[in-house]
Amino acid sequence: MKTRKPAGLAVAAVLSAVLLGGCEGLQPTAPADSQPTSTDGANAPSSSSISLAAVPDSMVLAPGAKKTLPYGDGVTYHSSAPDVVTVGSNGELSVSSQAKVGSTATVTVEYQGERKDVTITVKPSLAATVTMVNGIPTVTNPDDLVVVVNKERALPADYVPPRLVEPNVPFTFSGKAEKRLLREEAARALEELFAKAKQDGIQLYGVSGYRSYQTQKGLFEGYVKTQGAEHANRYSAQPGKSEHQTGLAIDVAGTDPSTLLEEPFADTREGKWLAEHCAEFGFIIRYLKGKEEITGYAYEPWHIRYVGKEVAKEIMSSGVTLEEYFQDSGQVQAR
């Protein structure tokens, strides 16, 4: 049981506190756990902590991705291509979900008289464009001009490319056939490529363009029967795993029939011209020499694949495969 102090003593204690500490001695104290309430922007870096040296020279981001640059009072941003990348006042980059693979934008960051340009390249990660269908890794972007189809990435079995047309170029055979067809974008580009070759004194011929799933199935099974499974897997594609089914690939030939679909085609005038100029029209040599372990297929200097001019020039100038082109791709960031 607590004992109560006499009233006189309590009054004396109060007067003593006033005399010793002044009026402040009577001020109520704040609870120990009370803290100032945070306000919007409290987590933003202070102006003194902003350094443009922390801003990268370049970034690779997927369509729909978001990334935040350093921000604070006095920092401004500008995008050279708002249809590809926008940037908010808080430094958040937003890549359009409709941005084409290979498209670029330059984001300029300025602060206190300093300036930094950041080149943004749009690429999805390969992992983000494939899903399992009946136990088979199947691409989710079959209509994309830069879709990667290989032994590990199949097209849907019922896939038929949009807008298949016949390019106005000479072929090594006569008569109508599905292998004369290409997607319209690739067909128009092939016409320009063949026309330029002719101006340079080079005669090229189309050999085989689009192949349906069923056509590829028949070809592959024929190779297995006549030359064995190992040879078939090295030089041909299983049904659903052929680039020809995309309508974006075509085999071409020159005037020497002995090099038709043979490696020595690379050493002919036609083969050399094709390797040097195909990227100008949006094509790449798809299966490069020494890259068999990456592409899964033997060297084919006659097999060209349409990917668009920007991507083609980057791939051919750097000597990489289509698979390697995507190695530095970024995932879409979750919000």
What does the mean pLDDT of the chain come to? 86
Last residue of a domain, one of 80, 96, 122: 122
CATH value at residue 201: 3.30.1380.10
Cβ-proximal residues to 204 (8 Å cutoff; 6+ apart), any chain: 169, 170, 193, 194, 197, 198, 252, 253, 254, 270, 274
Rounded CA separation 114/99 (Å): 29
Q: How far is CA 108 from CA 60, 80, 93, 111, 114, in A?
A: 16, 8, 12, 10, 10
Out of 243, 262, 293, 300, which one is annotated catalytic? 300
One domain, residues 146 and 88? no
pLDDT band, residue 9 (cuts 50/70/90)? very low
Q: Is pLDDT larger for residue 57 or for residue 332?
A: 57
Q: Is residue 68 part of a domain?
A: yes
Average pLDDT over residues 249-254: 99
Last residue of a domain, one of 70, 98, 122: 122
One domain, residues 139 and 113? no
> Is the Cβ–Cβ distance between 249 and 279 less than 8 Å?
no
pLDDT digits 0-9 by tens, 11-51 = 334 334 433 344 344 344 444 443 333 333 334 454 456 78
One domain, residues 207 and 281? yes
Whether 300 is catalytic is yes
Q: Is residue 334 part of a domain?
A: no
Last residue of a domain, one of 122, 148, 180: 122
Q: Give the burial class of 40: count Cβ atoms within 10 A of its Cβ; 0-12 exposed, 13-18 middle, 19 or more buried.
A: exposed
pLDDT value for 332: 34
Cβ-proximal residues to 164 (8 Å cutoff; 6+ apart), any chain: 181, 182, 183, 184, 210, 247
250 closest CA partner among 311, 333, 161: 161
Domain range for 92 is 51-122
Lowest mean pLDDT among 43-57, 88-102, 131-145: 43-57
pLDDT band, residue 231 (cuts 50/70/90)? confident
One domain, residues 264 and 160? yes
> Is the Cβ–Cβ distance between 250 and 279 less than 8 Å?
no
One domain, residues 116 and 134? no
Q: Is residue 331 part of a domain?
A: no
Q: The pTM is what? A: 0.80
Rounded CA separation 311/118 (Å): 19
Cβ-proximal residues to 170 (8 Å cutoff; 6+ apart), any chain: 194, 203, 204, 205, 206
One domain, residues 157 and 286? yes
One domain, residues 166 and 197? yes
> Is the Cβ–Cβ distance between 298 and 307 less than 8 Å?
no
One domain, residues 222 and 255? yes
One domain, residues 162 and 287? yes
CATH value at residue 116: 2.60.40.1080
Does residue 95 have a pLDDT over 70?
Answer: yes
Question: Total domain count for the chain?
Answer: 2
One domain, residues 106 and 169? no
